[in-house]
């Protein structure tokens, strides 16, 4: 009998020959197994996962409780289509999310499969509830790769190149940053109302309370309060995109909670189901109910296996105190990175909330107008060579973000911090 041994090189060539070029892949090795914060490739090499499937694995790879819930559900049924034959898990999960979401008054939820689906449906609901077509989004924001998701996304490369035209009546304003104040962002909206769109035509304003792909920029509380006031003034809805920032990443269930602002709609996905495809749209009951029966849903929307996983994720978050752990781990990471600043002139800023932390590299350090993407890439590659998977982000590609599982063991976390520190120090030599 012939035994075939898989190699990364062989699989890499097969991937290039058989899969679409447009699906970009970061690494040239292939996963064979994983546990909590660790991945082993097909050749047995171990990596510490600080990417988490792009923020999907706050409860780690194959958490025992999540895996047990999935197995138990598979003993019952894997699919009925909720719109054809409903099941209790869907209803119970909606009740749990309605309870923890920062929504004023009675809340309701609907489930989908991906974050982009949740965003699309949030826009649909906002338009149905207000009878208005326009949506305001922010530069640097990321809201998915569907046509409406791309229209809302405030970054051209690589997401929008060659794919237009996009849906009309989507307007962008600057997100606060080094050269943009909250007052500038609000002034840009005021200018929109004067030159581009009547506020009476705007259904909603959508933003990430902490931008993900945009570089982990935190929306100032003042911005969120002023957007809430603008929405109330003009009859618009406020949509919080918590797909990457939600479910404990920032030390709270939802990042918007840090500001005390209550949005009208919240979209959540990624870590909602611990690696299984599930997203949710949560919002004011009257707003959600503006969509007629049949207007929301999907064949796989709210899949029972993913629903079961999400129930287990919520239990794990509560039982293991992962909201507090998110804050504690984030503080350790920030301290570690700040200690490197005197030795790394390119280290411009460390920022974030809880465990949604990023480090930005710029030429001449404090000169935030000169992003150093090459430096960030060297850090990423050096860390990968030493066994830690990192992701870049930011409009200039000069930001490293950290998306480790909140369940990561202390020893593994410290091992990764040492590797990351050495990678940053080495990149400047």
Domain spans, the chain: 8-62+321-427, 77-319
In 86-97, which positions are buried (b, 16+ CB within 10 angstroms) versus exposed (e)?
A: ebebbeebbeeb
**pLDDT one-digit tens code per residue, 214-268:** 999 999 999 999 999 999 999 999 999 999 999 999 999 999 999 999 999 999 9
**pLDDT one-digit tens code per residue, 346-367:** 999 999 999 999 999 999 766 6
* Residue 381 in tokens: 């590659």
The domains spanning 8-62+321-427 and 77-319 adopt the same CATH topology: no
Residues linked to residue 180 through DSSP beta bridges, in sequence order: 177
**pTM reported for the whole predicted model:** 0.96
DSSP3 helix / strand / coil % (the chain, rounded to 5): 40, 20, 40
Which contacts (CB < 8 Å, 24+ apart) does range 31-37 have?
32/6, 34/61, 34/62, 35/60, 35/61, 35/62, 36/60, 36/61, 36/62, 36/63, 36/405, 36/407, 36/408, 36/409, 36/412, 37/61, 37/404, 37/405, 37/407, 37/408, 37/409, 37/412, 37/413, 37/416
| CATH no. for 8-62+321-427 | 3.90.1150.10
Which pLDDT score is estimated for 3?
Answer: 47
| CATH no. for 77-319 | 3.40.640.10
CA distances from 318 to 138, 143, 187, 311, 312 (A): 33, 28, 41, 11, 10
């Amino acid at each position: 009998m012939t035994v075939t041994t898989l190699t990364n090189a062989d699989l890499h060539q097969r991937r290039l020959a058989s899969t679409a070029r447009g699906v970009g892949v970061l690494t040239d090795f292939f996963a064979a197994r994983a546990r909590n914060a660790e991945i082993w490739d097909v050749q047995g090499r171990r990596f510490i996962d600080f990417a988490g499937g792009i923020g999907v694995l706050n409860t780690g790879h194959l958490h025992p409780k999540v895996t047990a819930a999935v197995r138990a559900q598979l003993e019952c049924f894997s699919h009925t289509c909720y719109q054809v034959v409903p099941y209790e898990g869907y209803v119970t999960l909606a009740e749990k999310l309605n309870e923890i979401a920062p929504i004023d008054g009675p809340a309701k939820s609907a489930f989908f499969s991906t974050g982009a689906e949740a965003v699309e449906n949030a826009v649909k609901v906002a338009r149905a509830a207000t009878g208005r077509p326009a949506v305001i989004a922010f530069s640097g924001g990321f809201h998915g790769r569907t046509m409406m998701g791309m229209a809302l996304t405030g970054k051209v490369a690589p997401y929008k190149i060659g794919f237009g035209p996009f849906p009309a009546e989507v307007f962008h304003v600057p997100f606060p940053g080094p050269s943009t104040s909250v007052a500038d962002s609000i002034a840009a909206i005021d200018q929109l109302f004067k030159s581009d769109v009547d506020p009476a035509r705007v259904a909603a304003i959508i933003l990430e309370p902490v931008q993900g792909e945009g570089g982990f920029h935190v929306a100032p509380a003042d911005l969120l309060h002023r957007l809430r006031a603008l929405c109330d003034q003009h009859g618009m809805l406020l949509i919080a995109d918590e797909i990457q920032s939600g479910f404990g990443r920032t030390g709270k269930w939802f990042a918007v909670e840090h500001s005390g602002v209550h949005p009208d709609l919240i979209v959540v996905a990624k870590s909602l189901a611990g690696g299984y495809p599930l997203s949710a749209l949560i919002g004011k009951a009257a707003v959600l109910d503006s969509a007629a029966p049949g207007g929301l849903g999907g064949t796989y929307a709210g899949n029972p296996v993913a629903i079961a996983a999400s129930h287990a994720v919520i239990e794990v978050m509560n039982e293991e105190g992962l909201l507090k752990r998110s804050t504690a781990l984030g503080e350790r990471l920030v301290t570690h990175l700040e200690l490197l600043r005197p030795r790394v002139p390119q280290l411009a800023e460390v920022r974030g909330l809880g465990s949604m932390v990023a480090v930005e590299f710029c030429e001449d350090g404090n000169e935030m107008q000169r992003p150093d993407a090459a430096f960030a890439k060297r850090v990423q590659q050096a860390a990968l060579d030493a066994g830690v998977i990192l992701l870049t982000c930011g409009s200039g590609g000069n930001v490293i973000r950290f998306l480790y599982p909140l369940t990561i063991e202390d020893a593994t976390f410290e091992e990764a911090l040492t590797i990351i520190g050495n990678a940053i120090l080495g990149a400047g030599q």
